[in-house]
């Protein structure tokens, strides 16, 4: 046993090779999180280009084609480069710690699933420097428009294949780890909620990433090999792409939010000093949201010309999602009820998550109503909605998770005052950015336009000011991370008074191989 | 920095021009009014739910805090209340679904139209064909907007009348008549949308989609393409002039004569 451990430590390389060859779940989690942070700023810079152009009517900064490249790349980079890697990074760090395992089940695969990403994202990003530029048909890549694109298209498609491959490998690893490596006594219904949400998310990933790969491969053959899957003049159907894309796209939305739910379900009980209310119903609600996500896809395309029966079906299934989502929100609030709350930075981000995600949920319910969605569809109202669920939703959950577990990961406590400042700046500016977008959308401003009629000026100007404030506030986040990392190890094993779970039984930072001896869970 | 302040100050006149509109237009067709009423209904329901949910949450945040010396309670489940907050939202949803389905059925009924207008989207203009009357024309963004919208055109767009929402050839339609639109496209997908006439519909190459409206008030109604269709997606506006039936018939006659003259040439 001892010799085994010694042997492993001999293999433990230093310098850059440590990171390239690592099979350690913590190292890989860190790599994921750093990649995500970098991409968050890259995608954010693109968002600021978009917002700067929209500050005033008229074109001042970029031409329309480059604007379209920015909206397309901003979405792809934020979804596949920032949010998904952040959530997988959290999974890598936390799942073994939370289930009492020494590492992930498939460590070499883990290395691969990470190291595919920088190359895939690099390839995607390189298209910006091509003649003709990056893909500009929106992240949804609708044909026939996307087929008019230049050389960027095959690169973007190959990059999506690689990103999908990375996600599938990551998902396989997560499922294998959760199903096989739990500490004795930890039955499925005793797992922490974060582990549950990731288990369900991993199944969603395996189910839908191949669908996306299939859809973009058909685009590729339509463009280069003479097929006409989506070309009407060749007997194909451009609308079929949308159906296939959203069969992936809707579960993808939940891939981005379910692990966030898991984070919130961990943080709220900790700072309420009270057990999570309705654990069982939380698990069932997560599973029902995941199942429903497969039968609601066409609500993204109500205006495409569907039969009446189809519209009614997708309207009703979409409305149904409000039930399990409501259960989650009610459970969080019941957890706080009669708790003994304190408001450290992770808790503040989690509380803001509940309020602002619910606002995004309300606008989501509004757009489930098909006859009204005919008005909302493809306007800034939609842009406001999905940014509310993704930014103060998923992104806030990731930030909350980082503040929550950073002292555990590093043994170093962040500066609470700065953390709270970061919270307030971020929350105020996120609302200044996205709330006015509801108004311009309802008033008739379509999305994905670089220039607009003058009656939309005021709220666009406000939104732009908010977005720059939001961007600057994230530089403070960088500084907080830097300041935390450069100090000495001081954090306790159990950083938070109300914390529960196996990760808090380990030292901070935890040993290289988390649990060499499996802990007992009664 | 000084340049930036000057830039910010220079935007103030433009800011004054906006009209701070925050809501859907009620519109001038039965379908747009229906959509508006449903929109407001669901909005008020969500506001009431929001006040309830956030009210309880903030009550808890204010009163159940450690700094007030609260000792945490022990409960962590209650089957009765969990069933209640699953069933009640479900019933509210059923209550929403009924009027929504009725509205949808009405909106999809394109039968018995008096005027049929075929709309074809192209990059980046619309073609309109009045099928009964044999009138057709192209409709593009007007030249003044088109000049002003170029990158660094030097034109102050706030001086351009109906900037980006003006066309060379507007659609003319009669009021109080059921208008059926047949939508298709010649290249990529577009979407035809005039907010005050109700919802939008995609114009898909190779397919013909249908929608209808019945305008109850004469006037000029503006909209634009709502599906990303390439670099000039923002620059294919739609203008509908709704006039009395008599005026409409006169306009059709004129168009037919113009077409004949044009054909003779
Ligand atoms: Cu168009």
Q: How remote is the C-alpha of A421 from its chain's centroid? A: 24
pLDDT at residue B7 in the model: 53
Is the pLDDT at B18 greater than 70? The verdict is no
Q: Stretch A492-520: mean pLDDT, rounded? A: 89
Nearest to B228 among A57, A438, A448 (CB): A448
Ion ligand 1 nearby residues (CB, 5 A): B 190, 225, 229, 236
Does any domain span residue A426?
no
Asked if residue A71 belongs to a domain, the reply is yes
A315/B contact by beta carbon, under 8 A: yes
Of A315, A369, A461, the CB nearest to B15: A461
pTM as predicted? 0.93
- Rounded Cα distance, A12 and A16, in Å: 12
With a cut of 50, say whether residue A46 has pLDDT above it.
yes
Domain boundaries, chain B: 30-67+78-107, 115-153+162-264
Q: What is the pLDDT of residue B13?
A: 46
Residue A51 lies in a domain: yes
Please report residues of A whose CB lies closer than 8 A to that of B95: none
**pLDDT given at position B157:** 87
CB contact under 8 A, A57 and B34: no
CATH code at position A26: 1.20.120
Residue A463 lies in a domain: no
3-state SS assignment for residue A497: coil
Q: Tell me if A7 is assigned to some domain.
A: no
pLDDT per position as a tens digit, B78-126: 889 999 999 999 999 999 999 999 999 999 999 989 999 999 999 999 9
Q: Which of B81, B101, B198 sits opposite A374 (nearest CB)?
A: B198
Q: Which CATH architecture has domain B115-153+162-264?
A: Sandwich (2.60)
In a domain, A185, yes or no: yes
DSSP 8-state secondary structure symbol assigned to residue A82: I
- What's the confidence (pLDDT) of residue A10? 46
CA–centroid distance, residue B225 to ligand 1 (Å): 5
Q: Do A369 and B42 touch (CB under 8 A)?
A: yes
Alpha-carbon distance of A336 to A496, in angstroms, equals 16
Interface test with B, best of A360, A367, A439, A444 (most B CBs within 10 A): A444
- Contact indicator for B238, B194 with CB cutoff of 8 Å: yes
- Residue B71: other Cβ atoms inside 10 A: 10
**A460 to chain B, closest Cα gap in Å:** 10
Burial class of residue A521 in the structure, from the number of CB atoms within 10 Å of its CB (0-12 exposed, 13-18 middle, 19+ buried): middle
Binary contact (A457, B18; C-beta < 8 A): yes
- How far, in Å, is the centroid of ligand 1 from the Cα of A449? 11
DSSP calls for B142-183: -HHHHHHTSTT----GGGSTTTTS-BSS-EEEESSSEEEEEE
pLDDT in tens, B134-173: 899 999 999 999 998 988 888 888 888 899 999 999 999 9
| Element containing residue A290 per DSSP (H, E) | helix A279-292
Give, as one character, the DSSP assignment of residue B118.
E
* Count of domains for chain A: 1
Whole-number Cα distances in Å, A110 to A85, A116, A256, A463: 13, 10, 20, 40
CA distance A270 to A274: 7
Q: How far is the CA of A327 from the centre of ligand 1 (A)?
A: 41
Q: Kindly state the greatest CA–CA separation across chain A.
A: 74
Task: Write the ipTM.
Answer: 0.91
Cis peptide before A376 (omega within 30 of 0): no
A438-464 pLDDT tens trace: 999 999 999 999 999 999 999 999 999
For residue A375, give both structure tokens.
């008005």
Given a contact cutoff of 8 angstroms between Cβ atoms, the answer to whether A457 and B18 are in contact is yes
CB contacts under 8 A, A 4-63 vs B, are 55-60, 62-63
Distance A68 CA to ligand 1 centre (A): 14
A420 Cβ under 8 Å from any chain B Cβ:
no
Q: Where would I find the H helices in A338-415?
A: 345-368, 370-376, 380-389, 396-410
The rounded Cα A36 to chain-centroid distance in angstroms is 10
Cβ distance B200 to A362 less than 8 Å, yes or no, reads no
């Amino acid at each position: 046993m001892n010799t085994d451990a010694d042997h492993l430590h001999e293999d433990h390389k230093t310098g850059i090779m440590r990171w390239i060859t690592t099979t350690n779940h913590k190292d890989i989690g860190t790599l994921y999180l750093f990649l995500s942070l970098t991409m968050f700023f890259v995608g954010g810079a693109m968002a600021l280009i978009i917002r700067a152009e929209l500050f005033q009517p008229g074109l001042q900064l970029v031409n329309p084609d480059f604007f379209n490249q920015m909206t397309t790349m901003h979405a792809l980079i934020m979804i596949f480069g920032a949010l998904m890697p952040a959530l997988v990074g959290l999974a890598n760090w936390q799942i073994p710690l939370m289930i009492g395992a020494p590492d992930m089940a498939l460590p070499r695969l883990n290395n691969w699933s990470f190291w595919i990403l920088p190359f895939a994202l690099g390839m995607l990003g390189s298209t910006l420097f091509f003649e003709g530029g990056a893909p500009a048909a929106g992240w949804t890549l609708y044909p026939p428009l996307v087929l008019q694109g230049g050389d960027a298209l095959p690169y973007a498609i190959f990059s999506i294949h690689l990103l999908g491959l990375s996600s599938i490998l990551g998902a396989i690893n997560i499922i294998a780890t959760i199903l096989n490596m739990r500490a004795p006594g930890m039955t499925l219904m005793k797992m922490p909620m974060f582990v549950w949400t990731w288990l369900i998310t991993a199944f969603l990933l395996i189910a839908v990433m191949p669908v996306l790969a299939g859809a973009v491969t058909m685009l590729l053959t339509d463009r280069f090999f003479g097929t006409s899957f989506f070309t009407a003049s060749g007997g194909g159907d451009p609308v079929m792409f949308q159906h296939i894309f959203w069969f992936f796209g809707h579960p993808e939305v939940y891939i981005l939010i379910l692990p966030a739910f898991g984070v919130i379900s961990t943080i709220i009980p900790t700072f309420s000093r009270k057990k999570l209310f309705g654990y069982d119903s939380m698990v069932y609600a997560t599973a029902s949201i995941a199942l429903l996500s497969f039968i609601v896809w066409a609500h993204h395309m109500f205006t495409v010309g569907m039969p009446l029966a189809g519209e009614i079906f997708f309207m009703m299934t979409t409305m149904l999602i409000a039930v399990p989502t409501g259960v989650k929100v009610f459970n969080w609030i019941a957890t706080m009820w009669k708790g003994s709350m304190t408001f450290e930075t992770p808790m503040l981000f989690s509380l803001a998550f509940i309020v602002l995600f619910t606002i995004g949920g309300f606008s989501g319910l509004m757009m489930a109503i098909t006859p009204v969605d005919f008005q909302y569809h493809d306007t800034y109202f939609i842009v406001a909605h999905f940014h509310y669920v993704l930014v103060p939703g998923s992104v806030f959950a990731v930030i909350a998770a980082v503040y929550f577990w950073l002292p555990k990961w590093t043994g170093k406590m962040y500066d609470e005052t700065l953390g709270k400042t970061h919270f307030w700046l971020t929350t105020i500016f996120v609302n200044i950015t996205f709330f006015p977008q509801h108004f311009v959308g309802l008033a008739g401003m379509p999305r994905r336009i670089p220039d607009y009629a003058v009656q939309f000026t005021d709220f666009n100007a406000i939104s732009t000011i908010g977005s720059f404030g939001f961007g600057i506030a994230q530089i403070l986040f960088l500084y907080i991370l830097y300041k935390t990392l450069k100090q000495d190890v001081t954090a306790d094993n159990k950083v938070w008074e109300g914390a529960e779970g196996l990760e808090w039984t380990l030292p901070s930072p935890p040993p290289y191989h988390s649990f060499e001896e499996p802990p007992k869970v009664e | 920095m000084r340049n930036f302040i000057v830039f910010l100050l220079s935007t103030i006149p433009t800011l004054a021009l906006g009209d701070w509109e925050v809501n859907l237009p009620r519109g001038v067709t039965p379908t747009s009014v229906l959509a508006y009423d449903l929109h407001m209904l669901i909005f008020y329901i969500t506001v009431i739910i929001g006040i309830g949910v956030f009210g309880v949450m903030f009550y808890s945040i204010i009163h159940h805090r450690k700094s007030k010396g609260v000792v945490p309670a022990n409960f962590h489940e209650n089957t009765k209340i969990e069933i209640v907050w699953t069933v009640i939202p479900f019933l509210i949803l059923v209550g929403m679904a009924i009027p929504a389905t009725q509205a949808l059925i009405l909106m999809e009924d394109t039968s018995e139209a008096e005027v049929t207008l075929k709309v074809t989207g192209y990059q980046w203009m619309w073609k309109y064909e009045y099928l009964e009357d044999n009138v057709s024309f192209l409709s593009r963004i007007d030249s003044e907007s088109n000049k002003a919208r170029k990158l660094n055109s030097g034109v102050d767009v706030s001086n351009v009348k109906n900037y980006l929402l003006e066309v060379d050839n507007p659609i003319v339609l009669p009021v109080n008549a059921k208008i059926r639109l047949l939508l298709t496209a010649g290249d990529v997908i577009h979407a035809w949308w005039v907010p005050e006439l109700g919802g939008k519909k995609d114009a898909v190459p190779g397919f013909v989609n249908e929608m209808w409206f019945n305008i109850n008030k004469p006037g000029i109604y503006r909209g634009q393409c709502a599906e990303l269709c390439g670099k000039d997606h923002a620059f294919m506006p739609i203008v509908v002039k709704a006039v009395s039936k008599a005026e409409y018939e006169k306009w059709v006659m004129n168009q037919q004569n113009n077409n004949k003259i044009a054909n003779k040439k």
